[in-house]
């Protein structure tokens, strides 16, 4: 029972008591004279009025400062749908999710949890290990593993665009290695869409187009890669060179490798690249020992203009393997019947190990610098090297 109700009841009791004191001759009245009874009535009546006022006052809302209310009052149904009360501070701190709208809650979860179980470093490491291994021997198990890993990253890394672009690129390259050109093209094009500034994606796609026979498009894509990263993007030309070389287009392979020469920083690597280009050009102009000998036999002047002091490539069967005056190995090709006409190839001394593995009757391809005809019977080449 509240204080306002108690005061009201007290007021009522005093009011009744004042009436009794005046009008009813009770024991209290017998001992009081009339003027005294009137005074008692006035006193009781005033007290009852004061109690009534006090009960009304205590019934009003308290406006003085009060301790913080931990729960807001429920709004009335007439004002609209019922709104859940705001939790107390300790409840809010204990369960922050209760105040978060569903859409925001999902966003916060996505930000706090790494979307991909595979990091970019792990993906790179797995891919390059696969590439290094595949250059030595195709491993079907490793091949399937890298495709599965890339597929996993693509499915899980929804928010990491850069990582997904790499996964598409690496999977596309794996598809290209296995010969699935359409899958390879789709993945590399998706990688370019996600990350158009990744030079590697362009030359991988160039490799796909090249295997499809579209060399023009492959060269355009490689030029795009070079535009994004001149040094690394130029690797695409080496990829193209290797492909056309496998097709027997040695002059075109040399042309592509020449495009990479400006980007070599290491003089030794550049020198090796120049030797490779020369070898490719020689492969495009391989002749037989008999052809070379006949050229000198028929017109030594014209043959010297065409071959002397130039590196030429010969392919034929070894007739003899000997050691020269200073211990350098020598091999000879028969250029006519009865062994009377020969082309002799002199190797550097440091090539003795290579020469020791050769045998008579073996067909080899050799390059060397032509010194011309000696005694009208032998054509001599020096600084020779095997091209096989």
Q: Terminal CA-to-CA distance of the chain, rounded, Å?
A: 111
Residue appearing with tokens 């690797």: 235
Question: What residue spans define the domains of the chain?
Answer: 3-59, 120-283, 289-386
Distance CA 33, CA 230 (A): 125
Give the phi and the psi of residue 314 in degrees, each rounded to 5: -125, 145
Q: Are 139 and 177 in contact (CB under 8 A)?
A: no
Three-class SS of residue 323?
Answer: strand
Which pLDDT score is estimated for 16? 64
Give CA–CA dist 60/69, Å, rounded: 18
The C-alpha atoms of residue 197 and residue 165 are separated, in whole angstroms, by 11
- How far apart are the C-alpha atoms of 292 and 341, rounded to whole Å? 11
- pTM score, whole prediction: 0.52
CA 338 to chain centre: 66
Nearest-angstrom CA–CA distance, 44 and 34 = 15
Single out the residue of 217, 264, 261, 207 nearest to residue 239, CA to CA. Answer: 207
Q: Distance (Å, rounded) from C-alpha 164 to C-alpha 148? A: 14
pLDDT at res. 335? 83
**161-178 helix and 181-194 helix, angle to the nearest 10 degrees:** 160
- 3 state DSSP class of 386: strand
**Spans of the chain below 50 pLDDT:** 26-32, 61-116
How far is residue 88's CA from residue 20's CA, in Å, rounded to a whole number?
Answer: 55
Structure confidence at residue 189 (pLDDT)? 94
Residue 300's alpha-carbon distances to 203, 287, 315, in angstroms, are 48, 17, 21
CATH number at 120-283: 1.25.40.10
CA distance 147 to 162: 18
Token pair in block for residue 249: 């287009």
Query: At residue 55, what are phi and psi to the nearest 5 degrees?
Result: -65, -35
For residue 3, give Cα distances in angstroms to 10, 54, 116.
Answer: 10, 9, 66
Task: Look at residue 85 in the predicted model and tell me its pLDDT.
Answer: 40
Handedness of CA 60, 65, 70, 71 (dihedral sign): positive
pLDDT at 185: 93
CATH architecture of 289-386: Beta Barrel (2.40)
């Amino acid at each position: 029972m509240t204080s306002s109700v108690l005061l009201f009841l007290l007021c009522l009791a005093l009011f009744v008591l004042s009436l009794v004191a005046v009008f009813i001759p009770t024991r209290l009245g017998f001992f009081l004279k009339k003027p005294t009874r009137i005074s008692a009535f006035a006193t009781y009546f005033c007290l009852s009025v004061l109690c009534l006022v006090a009960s009304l006052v205590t019934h009003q809302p308290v406006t003085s400062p009060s301790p913080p209310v931990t729960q807001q009052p429920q709004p009335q149904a007439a004002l609209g749908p019922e709104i859940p009360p705001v939790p107390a501070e300790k409840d809010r701190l204990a369960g922050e999710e209760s105040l978060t709208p569903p859409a925001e809650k999902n966003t916060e979860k996505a930000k706090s949890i790494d979307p991909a179980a595979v990091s970019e470093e792990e993906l790179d490491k797995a891919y390059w290990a696969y590439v290094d291994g595949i250059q030595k021997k195709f491993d079907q198990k490793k091949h399937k593993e890298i495709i599965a890993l890339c597929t996993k990253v693509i499915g899980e890394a929804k928010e990491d665009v850069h990582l997904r672009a790499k996964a598409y690129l690496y999977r596309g390259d794996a598809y290209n290695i296995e010969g699935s050109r359409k899958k390879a093209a789709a993945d590399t094009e998706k990688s370019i869409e996600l990350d158009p500034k990744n030079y590697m994606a362009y030359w991988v796609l160039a490799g796909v187009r090249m295997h499809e026979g579209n060399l023009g498009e492959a060269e355009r894509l490689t030029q795009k890669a070079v535009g994004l990263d001149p040094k690394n993007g130029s690797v695409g030309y080496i990829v193209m060179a290797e492909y056309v070389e496998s097709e027997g287009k040695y002059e075109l392979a040399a042309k592509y490798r020449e495009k990479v020469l400006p980007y070599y920083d290491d003089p030794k690597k550049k020198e090796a690249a120049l030797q490779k280009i020369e070898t490719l050009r020689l492969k495009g102009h391989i002749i037989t020992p008999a052809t070379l000998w006949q050229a000198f036999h028929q017109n030594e002047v014209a043959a010297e203009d065409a071959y002397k002091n130039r590196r030429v490539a010969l392919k034929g069967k070894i007739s003899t393997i000997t050691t020269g005056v200073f211990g350098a190995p020598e091999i000879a090709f028969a250029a006519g019947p009865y062994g009377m006409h020969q082309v002799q190839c002199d190797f550097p001394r440091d090539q003795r190990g290579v020469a020791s593995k050769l045998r008579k009757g073996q067909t080899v391809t050799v390059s060397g610098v032509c010194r011309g005809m000696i005694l009208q019977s032998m054509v001599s080449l020096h600084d020779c090297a095997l091209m096989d």
